[in-house]
Structure 1
Amino acid sequence: MRTPSRTLLSHLLAMTTATGALALISPPASATARASGMEVSTAAQLKSALAVAVPGDTIRLADGTYAGNFKTTRAAISGARIPLTGSPKAVLTAGGGYGLHLNGGSYWTVSGLTVTGGQKGIMIDSAKGVVVDGVTVHGLDMEGVHFRNSSTDGVIKNSRIHDTGNDGRGMGEGVYVGTANTLSGRSDNIRILDNTIGPDVGGESIDIKEGTTGARIVGNTFDGRGLTGA
């Protein structure tokens, strides 16, 4: 019977070079890069990272301004999330549309960064288990953070949302859960925890729509100055 040690020895001997030295096989450069995460410092790099991220990757934003609309359709899994992280000085600035759109991007964690400009701040569509933690969202035409299209089991916590609804139509909710005028948008079990919402929110600070169940709203601070659309 071949023992494990003999099997290992035979593999080592097979890798011996003509000079008698063992050939050491290094992991591919791409594997090394993934193990250490993806460091980005430009809008183009961020868009590329959002397009190729796989479960277990981490995208780290350097401080700076990232101009554009940023979107991912890549999903993670509960045991291997995809964190997108930066400091408040890593600022996603949109000129319209959504600042950050997780469209089917289940099990992402978005933390630390700032989203401003555009129509809506962070839009979460058809995604499970998204965590938004410690972000700043402001300066928007409409809502700040929206869990929509049956996005379930999500969390927004420790975040600051202000200066929304700047188009003047009273549609600048701080946190919006579900979809208006339908019972089919089952964005259930969303937790809204320990956030500061306001001032200058152009709609309700938190709006939980019909058709959703299980939302928890705990420990938040509301500043009603400038509230116009509630």
Structure 2
Amino acid sequence: MTARRSRRRSAAYAALALGLAGSLALTGCNSHSSKKSKKSKKSSFSSSKSKKRKIIGGGAAAAGAGAASRRVPDCYPSTYKVTFSQQTGPKSHVAVKFKNSGSRDCKLYNAPLLRFDNAKKPLPLLQGTPGHLDGTRITVPAHGYAYAVIPTNTAATKGNEQKSVAVDFMGISAGSPTHGPATVSFAEKRLHISVGKSKVTNWSSSIHGAQLAGGVGK
């Protein structure tokens, strides 16, 4: 009887030990799984934050690039971009036309600086003094035009026929360098341009606007 009880007790203890071991193993497994889940959540949150930072950073970079691309450069003269033509009659004048042959907009300030036949000083401006800006600025669209006018409707302003003209473009301020010169030969182009004691208007987006500014509009 004593031997049977002893065996039963041993069997009961063994079953209890197995039960405890299984419970501990399950608890450890659950704990390990919980830790993994927390780590996974942290990793996912960190990844999400990183993606947000990248998106925000990328957006700022794109905005900066967009602002840079929107900066409008100055226009530059050349012998094929700047052309001259003489208009006769009671409202005689010389029309100066600039063509923006580029694929981007460009800026013009005040008026063209024109030195006919190697003159030391450029033609005076109707709306200011050469080298001193009055705030006039126009944007010439890609493949667009700008105009200025030199009134020659009196004998004094018409003067003599010129052989050439050196063209400068004014900069953003009085102290900044002009963009030029580009020398246009009237003889090579078979043009007859007569200019005397005249003045030149500021740039305008239309020939009609330039003619009105010069007092020779229709």
The TM tier, using the shorter chain, reads under 0.3
User: Which structure has the larger Rg?
Assistant: 2
More strand by share: 1
